[in-house]
Chains A and B, each alone.
Chain A
């Protein structure tokens, strides 16, 4: 009997401790929750710190984030096709939007229910989902460790940087955009990626780490595992705001960019909330908040003027923004799986 009582006491104590610790924090009203996807790095922080509270004030619903790359979101949506999607709002880069629409994973955006939609520049008013920003890549470097400012991607090959160069895996858009640009610089095009891989092989001895995604990339910078790498503009700004020594450089070959957009997934559980969430992201006041440090997210709302940081580094006017070079993603998309596999083989130690 003794140990019986003891055992019961212990179980009750443990359960009580667990419940007791949780209860005060869970005493909020049982409100609705919207499950959304977001990108690693700056994006999930901006969405968590700015967008979620704004959305909550507007609708009273809270947000559960799932941090995934665009390619991962497509895979998850494809796997769940026909049933309930794992999240109601997808965030996709330009290349993935074509595939998502083609594979029937997203719904057309109900513009009528979205008051802020018309405030966007016409180029960003897409029927499959509004463009919320432009992402541009260049070179990021640690000015404390690297004294000469790099000028082009070929500077990454400098033997002095052995083991200090960083890359991201090819399923991240940064990785793909960099490879496409590296390819173009070395004479290839959207249908021929061989020059890219030849150049990559020369770069590999300098590569210190390949990050799975941009968030992991940020960690590498913070822990000073890499000192120079191809990098997104606003991610560099976010790290700078956290006190990490890093600077963004526009390479001589120019900036490369793509649009990022939000989408309503097919068979979403809370479609109205999802549209309100996306609409919140389009609002002028939201986009001006996101434009400020540490997020520096380039705005797409015509009512939001460009910030000083963006004007200084990226583009002076919205017209300049739309001129930033991209790629013909429809040509690259069919090769994506093969490219990823080829890349994984090359980088494997």
Chain B
């Protein structure tokens, strides 16, 4: 059972990718990834076999189902011809080269990047503060606030996007990048909240008391104790918020107009109006960048762990 003796801020002695359930909240929880449930020694009956077989097959189909389209897009983007066929008739990088001339696509990508960056920054600041506020607050207020902050995830985002547009118009404004960022923050901050709250739940509150009793002020405790402990959770949430903003369609559909074009809307327009193979090439770029960022997020923030809390 972990105790106060362990130094929570030591970078060593902590196995990579393993959260330390400090405070020992669940004594029965195995301290490995998510709790490995290798079945104890029991006779492998037909029963168990059939279960494993069926689930194995369904899982295999599901994995193919999940990853197949991504791989197909990547391969299709390497086609040498002008048509979008799989398997492609010949391979070439010409469409990736064509992206270098795609001025408007680059401009849209740049807009998306800027919006996603600022959305992430604001979401992390407000979201972390929000998580701290409600994680330790009185139950009723916390539950209500939690529900409110999470609701953009389950209420129709399209309805919110349109409502935001109507709202802006009533106030006399027009769609612009700052307002687009605010709209994105509303739908992206739940990701930061979720992972941060989950990370906070793992932290033994006694640590804060200890820190206070040793003379640290609130900010010092936050900087030296809280932040390092929840850092990976916040990092994972930031990553999710960034991707969610970069990829957002329902809010951008209403709050981004022709003069502030963002990439997903541009791509959707391209797909809907002129099946250009360059769309496949930019899709390939997006996929590769996503994979790279995911690997980074896994390396630095233990993404898979944070998502499985």
Q: A residues within 8 Å of B by Cβ?
A: 1-4, 6-7, 9-11, 13-15, 17-18, 22, 25-26, 35, 37, 40-41, 44-45, 62, 64-67, 76, 80, 83-84, 86-87, 212-216, 218-219, 222-223, 242-244
Contacts and interface: CB of A to CB of B under 8 A. Distances in A.
B300 A67 contact: no
Given A6-B300, A218-B274, A86 B228 contact: no
B45 interface: no
Contact of B275 (A2, A213, A218): A218
Contact of B232 (A3, A26, A41): A3
A7 B174 CA distance: 36
Contacts of B242: 14
Contacts, number: 108
A2 B9 contact: yes
B129 interface: no
A67 B104 CA distance: 12
Contacts of B274: 40-41, 44-45, 67, 215, 218-219
A22 B109 contact: yes
Interface of B: 9-12, 81-84, 100, 103-104, 106-107, 109-110, 113, 117, 174, 227-228, 231-232, 234-235, 238, 242, 257-259, 261, 269-270, 272-275, 289, 292-293, 296-297, 299-301
A4 B113 contact: no
Given A2-B9, A7-B300, 5 more contacts: A2-B12, A18-B113, A35-B259, A87-B259, A243-B81
A14 B273 contact: no
Contacts of A212: 272
A64 B258 contact: yes
A213 B228 contact: no
Residue among A9, A11, A45 having the largest count of chain B Cβ atoms under 10 Å: A11
Given A3-B232, A7-B231, A26 B301 contact: no
A174 B301 CA distance: 53
A3 B228 contact: yes
A151 to B, nearest CB: 29
Nearest to A21: B289
Nearest to B172: A83
B31 to A, nearest CB: 18
A162 to B, nearest CB: 25
B232 A7 contact: yes
21 contacts: A3-B11, A7-B301, A10-B300, A11-B235, A14-B293, A18-B117, A25-B100, A25-B106, A26-B106, A35-B258, A44-B273, A64-B104, A65-B104, A80-B174, A87-B258, A215-B272, A215-B274, A218-B275, A219-B275, A222-B83, A223-B275
A13 B295 CA distance: 12
Contacts of A2: 9-12, 228
- The secondary structure that dominates the A interface is helix
Q: 8 closest A-B pairs (Cβ-Cβ)?
A: A2-B11, A215-B273, A10-B300, A40-B273, A66-B258, A3-B231, A219-B275, A215-B274
Contacts of B84: 222-223
Given A22-B109, A219-B275, A14 B296 contact: yes
A213 B235 contact: no
A13 B270 CA distance: 31
B219 to A, nearest CB: 15
Contact of B238 (A11, A65, A215): A11
Nearest to A214: B273
Nearest to B173: A83
Contacts of A222: 83-84, 275
B269 A67 contact: yes
B106 A213 contact: no
A208 B63 CA distance: 32
Given A14-B296, A87-B258, A243-B81, A216 B301 contact: no
B227 A64 contact: no
Contacts of A80: 174
Given A7-B300, A10-B299, A65-B104, A86 B292 contact: no
Contacts of B270: 67
Contacts of A44: 273-274
A84 to B, nearest CB: 7
A338 to B, nearest CB: 24
Nearest to A52: B103
A185 to B, nearest CB: 29
A37 B273 CA distance: 13
A92 to B, nearest CB: 16
Contacts of B296: 10, 13-14
A255 to B, nearest CB: 25
Nearest to B261: A64
Contacts of A41: 273-274
Interface centre among A2, A18, A41, A212 (most CB of B within 10 A): A18
Given A22-B113, A35-B258, A4 B106 contact: no
A1 B81 contact: no
